């Protein structure tokens, strides 16, 4: 009897503890939706005088349409001596607190990026409510705010559209998709890269478009790679998932183009050291298929497919070598993270060269690139649709 009574008391006590926990969790970090505005993204500029930050905030506004809530975007701009000061000034304008947990992108102006980006994003690192997983971009336009204020072709917020562009870079490989925390990790190693964004006119509307890669030395913007160069950068960083490679197989006729679709790619970096000479070896294995061809060449034949494979390998190799050389000589910023690779594989060598890496070693580093292409499904799908095909 006593045992049953004890068990009943234990169950009752456990139930009370559970109910109390649920009640406490329900109140944890609670915000009245009427007193807050949800931020979907924001842009940071300098004002015209150049002495204050100009903040452009995109907030999500919900309106009831019948029984459904309709989502739309509204934009607020404010100035402040610091970004945090500008945020506080938004509250005076809006009459509501800003809720940052859903913010997905931050766009920084080129002006701020050239001066140094860290002061502008310092708040993101310190405020627990603002996620460091949000994407960061550099505007190539006069301001970052005008990119956020684009006129989208579809009924979505600008932030959602830009976030989707970056999330889908794995399919096009025209720029890196970089979160704030990832930028900071790369920044600490000396060189970093962020996607660039611009406005382009399409169907009489100015819409946002990824514009390649912004290159940084420490936290300062020093230059750009275009979208084709960015693809080479992603090859080296082993960040190519999918994408396209276009080849011209007939120098006489520029319309003889072949498009290869990348299905898989793997890059291995390994340094070698011999005779007091450091070399970074880059081995790339890429699997592709023929996605499109405007040529009369029959690529179902072993001879022609072998030539296509060789041409693709040579083009990728030459393009990657050119981009590496450009970054070394023009920007001298280790955005490829070669230094980290040397440190991991050759720690004793790294200790000898670490002090001179940023000043001279990286700039003169020997690089050996090896590219291997594997072409899928070289059967009927590789035959041309043109008659009188060339063998």
Do the Cβ atoms of 149 and 142 come closer than 8 Å? Answer: no
Listing from the earlier edge strand, what are the strands of the sheet with 366-375?
A: 243-248, 257-274, 277-293, 366-375
Q: How many CB atoms lie within 10 A of CB 81?
A: 10
Residue closest to 158 by CA, chosen among 166, 131, 130, 125: 166
Q: Are 228 and 247 in contact (CB under 8 A)?
A: no
Domain boundaries, the chain: 32-225, 237-391
Q: Is 4 exposed, middle or buried (0-12, 13-18, 19+ CB in 10 A)?
A: exposed
Q: How far apart are CA 376 and CA 175, in angstroms?
A: 26
What pLDDT, on the 0 to 100 scale, is given for residue 377?
Answer: 73
- Mind listing the pLDDT tens digit of every residue in the chain (391 residues)? 544 444 444 444 444 444 454 444 444 344 455 577 899 999 999 999 999 999 999 998 776 566 666 677 899 999 999 999 999 999 888 888 888 988 999 999 999 999 999 999 988 888 878 889 999 999 999 999 999 998 877 768 899 999 999 999 988 999 999 999 999 888 887 789 999 999 998 888 889 999 999 999 999 999 999 999 999 999 999 999 899 999 876 544 445 788 999 999 999 999 999 999 999 999 999 999 998 887 767 777 888 889 999 999 999 999 999 999 999 999 999 999 999 999 999 999 999 999 999 989 999 999 999 999 999 876 445 555 555 545 5
Domain 237-391: assigned CATH number: 3.30.300.210
Cα–Cα distance measured from residue 336 to residue 333, given in angstroms and rounded to the nearest whole number: 8
d(CA 287, CA 240): 11
Residue 129 has which token pair? 């409510």
The pLDDT, as a whole number, for residue 261 is: 94
- Concatenate the DSSP letters of all residues of 25-59 into one string: HHHTT---GGGEEEEEEEEEEE-TTSSSEEEEEEE
Helix, strand, coil % in the chain, rounded to nearest 5: 40, 35, 25
Q: Which string of DSSP letters, residue by residue, matches 248-317? A: E--SS-TT-EEEEEEEEEEEEEEEEEETTEEEEEEEEEEEEEEEEE-S-B-TTSHHHHHHHHHHHHHHHH
Beta carbons of 97 and 32 less than 8 angstroms apart = no
Q: For residue 135, what is the enclosing H or E element?
A: strand 135-139
166 vs 174: CA distance, rounded Å: 10
Residue carrying the six token digits 């704030």: 180
Q: How far is CA 23 from CA 16, 27, 161, 346, in A?
A: 11, 7, 38, 56
Cα 365 vs. chain centroid, distance in angstroms?
26
Q: Which residue has the tokens 């701009």?
A: 77
- Which of 39, 210, 66, 59 lies closest to 140, judged by CA? 210
- Rounded to 10°, the helix 180-188/118-126 angle is 120
């Amino acid at each position: 009897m006593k045992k049953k009574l004890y068990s009943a008391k234990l169950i009752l006590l456990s139930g009370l503890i559970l109910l109390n926990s649920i009640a406490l969790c329900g109140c944890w970090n609670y915000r009245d939706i009427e007193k807050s505005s949800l931020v979907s993204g924001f842009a940071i500029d300098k004002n015209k005088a150049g002495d204050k930050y100009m903040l452009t905030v995109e907030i999500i506004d919900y309106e009831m349409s019948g029984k459904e809530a309709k989502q739309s975007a509204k934009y607020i701009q404010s100035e402040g001596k610091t970004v945090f000061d500008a945020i506080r000034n938004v509250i005076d304008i809006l009459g509501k607190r800003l809720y940052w947990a859903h913010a997905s992108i931050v766009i920084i102006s080129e002006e701020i990026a050239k001066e140094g980006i860290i002061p502008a994003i310092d708040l993101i690192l310190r405020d627990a409510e603002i996620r460091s997983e949000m994407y960061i971009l550099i505007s190539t336009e006069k301001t970052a705010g005008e990119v956020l204020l684009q006129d989208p072709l579809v009924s979505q917020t600008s932030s959602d559209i830009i976030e989707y562009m970056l999330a889908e870079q794995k399919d096009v490989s025209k720029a890196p998709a970089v979160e704030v925390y990832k930028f900071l990790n790369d920044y600490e190693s000396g060189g970093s890269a962020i996607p660039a964004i611009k406005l382009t006119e399409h169907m009489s509307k100015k819409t946002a478009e990824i514009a390649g890669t912004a290159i940084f030395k420490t936290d300062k913007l020093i230059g750009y790679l275009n979208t084709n160069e960015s693809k080479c950068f992603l090859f080296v960083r082993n960040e190519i998932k999918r994408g396209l490679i276009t080849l011209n197989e007939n120098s006489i006729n520029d319309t003889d183009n072949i498009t290869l679709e990348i299905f898989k790619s793997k890059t291995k970096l390994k340094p070698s050291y011999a005779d007091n000479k450091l070399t970074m070896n880059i081995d790339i294995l890429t699997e592709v298929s023929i996605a499109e061809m405007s040529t009369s060449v029959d690529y179902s034949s072993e001879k022609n497919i072998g030539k296509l494979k060789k041409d693709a390998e040579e083009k990728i190799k030459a393009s990657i070598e050119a981009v590496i050389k450009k970054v070394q000589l023009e920007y001298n910023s280790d955005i490829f993270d070669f230094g980290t690779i040397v440190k991991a594989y050759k720690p004793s060598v790294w200790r000898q060269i670490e002090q001179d890496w940023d000043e001279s070693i990286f700039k003169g580093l020997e690089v050996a690139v090896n590219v291997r292409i594997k072409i899928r499904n070289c059967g009927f799908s590789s035959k041309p649709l043109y008659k009188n095909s060339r063998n």
